[in-house]
Structure 1
């Protein structure tokens, strides 16, 4: 069941092998503590990111982009899946060995459930193992949300973001959900040659983005052959040997969409069911998230939660920062908290990618800021040749600036390399650089970063 004996006193038990948990296990072990790390699936060693999330999906996206508009080809997709699988297997093995090599880490394969505030029972088939420790950390991540819609159960032609990575390449794909996951997968499969239709229940896709930014994303999706149908409320899904049918209502009329496969992409929910949290007295929120304070502590002394399970932003790098907060509590001076986080960026890996940090123009207005806007289409930025060099000058750059202080309130960057440039903008925001100071920085040429010189120069 594990890689070492369970004899002896444990200092900490970590349930789940996500980014925050595995990093914390190593940190505690190197500090001399004895740690048990429990994972229910041997295919999830290393966590969601390297196995079914960030790394494998971005590998598939890279291979889709490399096709440069070529048509449907099942063999090309299967070759991309094989490369994905090889990459994740290598990273999974590396993640396992990094902790297995530490003598004070006990690796346990099985499903954990609390039996009390200091104890868990791990089951793997007919095997059971009882473990106890003064500190227990919940790190069980999140799962795709499945709506209460007739026929929405995963199986056959109906997929979630995990199962579709190993499906046959559909000639036609219906994506239920116009949020970040749905849009990213729509972009990828369209570039693999699938005819993709996105059904979004909102009045427009990517509703958290400003309209001008969302329009750029939608235009690029349409360039790849994907269609977005807004104000579409899905009523039912059915499937047979010939295909799947999605029934949806739009503006009072019921429509039928035929497809080879359906992807349900309606977000992710904390994976806490079956943990026996009630046995430990741990409180949860409305979506099943473990309720924590700014130090990631639950209402039960000695029990903490990090990563997606605690209901915070569902990003691997936030889970990593959760590890820093918790390490500060368990090993340091306790000064770190989630309130320290400022200007946390994110990226949607469409083609080109959309990266954003801070407030949108709409959000700034809602919060009462007097904002000035610097915005420019990438194709119109003279001092940004890199996108043209690599053959994709599409996109938009938009900055939201506090008119009084010249502080950067937020930025949306949709262009080649935006997933890198956004980190520089976030750093500038954390360091309280003004827009003028960022505008006058010296950047390499030709690069995507140097676009900031020209875009911010519009503010004078």
Structure 2
């Protein structure tokens, strides 16, 4: 399934609006629609007609999770490369459908002008937009920067020069599955792509410079995730230093020094650089508007998401905050409140924001890790449960995946839940129950004694919180 391209634009040379939004991401498009429905004149500026709807729909959450699902559930009788091609076709159809719906969501509003072009500040209220061969000036009383972030390519020897090195965006654009994928990095993007491609039958090697993958997680959680990846066929090398990437006719050779100081080389037809993302501010000419950035290039904002120019806001990944679509959506709520209401809502209101990594099974967490909780110095209760040992939680065995573990850290004096980590089937869903509980002051005891449907993964909370013990009693 595909969607028809929008009609060629006939644009004025100047446009005066109440609100200009640069970037079609989650927060920006939602704000544009909300303000337009209130009667505001809005310009939505997006540099590519392949990015209507933003990163999540086109090159982020939606396509990656669609591929993860297909890797786990579809095309079992097909060879891995054919399964991958089938999955990428389905994913392309899905993103095209959503892209068209997102374009129509704004284009059908009478007071919105969607402009496909590249914006740069001329001054604090004026944008120069290059739209094909046309140039126009957009003047706005309020401007929202929603340009997201790009994969970062640090100066590793040969990384930028190799024809076989790709970013996550470039790898998603391919319909041919790698035979041997080398992933440089050990964070969320690295692990997700490693798990997914291994499930499609690729040979996968992960090279991580730290002593473990997933360094923001507790050591036992990271080890459990590594064991799951290894059992799925992924080779993990930690403590490595990349010394060079060189191409021959049909592949790259990644040379690294291992944790024993021995030089090793691994060949690959594809090398994924999963080494973080940096805010996309290049070309915006922020200096002309007097908008400050930090040492990482992120736009500096206050708790209302206002930049150094109070009528200019920066939302989503470009402001250096958590790089989650649902945080961008909350950014929209803050800016909308600032524009049309009391301005009482701020980033300080955010509590217990969960995260999820879509390996198989997924890893989800909200709140503090055990390591972080220990650092607070407060008396703690801790529970660590292997999913396979939770006899009263049969759901994981019903779906043939009892791998992983669950952890809970609780304040021993207040019964307040400080953090929960779940490496288990459906953790990306069940973690939201904990996040909601934490935001509304529901205690560990209340979650322990709650009534849950059966058989479900949510009823794991009966078991998990029943096994809390003082930290000093933990082996």
Shorter-normalised TM range: over 0.9
Structure 2 CA distance for aligned equivalents of residues 47 and 62 of structure 1: 21
- Could you list the runs of 5+ residues in structure 2 that have no partner in the other structure? 1-7, 470-475
The structural deviation recorded for 1:68 is 9.2
Greater CA drift, 243-252 or 178-187: 243-252
Structure 2 CA distance for aligned equivalents of residues 305 and 232 of structure 1: 37
Aligned to 1:173: 181
Alignment partner of 1:11 out of 12, 18, 28:
18
Superposed CA offset, 1:3-40 (max 9, x none): 76576631011000000000000011011111100000
Number of aligned positions between the proteins: 460
CA contact (8 A) 1:3 1:107 kept: no
The structural deviation recorded for 1:414 is 1.1
For 1:315-330, what aligned pairs fall within 5 Å after superposition? 315-330=324-339
For 1:231-242, what aligned pairs fall within 5 Å after superposition? 231-242=239-250
Aligned to 1:125: 132
Alignment partner of 1:263 out of 272, 283, 288:
272
The structural deviation recorded for 1:126 is 2.5
1:206 equivalent to 2:214? Answer yes
1:334 equivalent to 2:347? Answer no
CA contact (8 A) 1:4 1:107 kept: no
- Could you list the runs of 5+ residues in structure 1 that have no partner in the other structure? none
Structure 2 CA distance for aligned equivalents of residues 6 and 438 of structure 1: 59
Aligned to 2:439: 430
Structure 2 CA distance for aligned equivalents of residues 122 and 155 of structure 1: 33
Structure 2 CA distance for aligned equivalents of residues 88 and 294 of structure 1: 33
Structure 2 CA distance for aligned equivalents of residues 69 and 442 of structure 1: 37
Runs of 4+ in 1 over 3 A off after TM superposition: 1-9, 67-72
Aligned to 1:399: 408
Structure 1 CA distance for aligned equivalents of residues 48 and 435 of structure 2: 36
Superposed CA offset, 1:403-428 (max 9, x none): 11110000001111111100000000
Structure 2 CA distance for aligned equivalents of residues 196 and 159 of structure 1: 15
The structural deviation recorded for 1:227 is 1.3
SS in structure 1 opposite 2:451?
coil
1:135 equivalent to 2:142? Answer yes
CA contact (8 A) 2:253 2:266 kept: yes
Alignment partner of 1:116 out of 93, 116, 123:
123
CA contact (8 A) 1:282 1:299 kept: yes
The structural deviation recorded for 1:224 is 1.0
The structural deviation recorded for 1:208 is 0.8
CA contact (8 A) 1:248 1:254 kept: yes
Cα RMSD of the aligned pairs, angstroms, is 1.6
1:195 equivalent to 2:195? Answer no
